[in-house]
Amino acid sequence: MAYVINDECISCGACEGECPVSCIAAGDGKYEINADECIECGSCASVCPVGAPVAE
């Protein structure tokens, strides 16, 4: 199950740099995860200060 970034995102970018497959990018008001490329590793969730990345 791919991760998604919920509305708690504060656009800090911590998750983008942590993603080993570079599937996270800045979106409109929050970061977004490309579900087709996500390998479900949870690295993004472990560095997010507000817990925005969640398993879908």
Architecture of domain 3-55: 2-Layer Sandwich (3.30)
List the domain boundaries for the chain.
Answer: 3-55
Contact call for residues 38 and 31 (beta carbons, < 8 A)? no
pLDDT tens digits, one per residue of 1-55: 899 999 999 999 999 999 999 999 999 999 999 999 999 999 999 999 999 999 9
Beta strands, E only, the chain: 3-5, 24-26, 31-33, 53-55
Residue 1 pLDDT: 85
Residue 33 pLDDT: 98
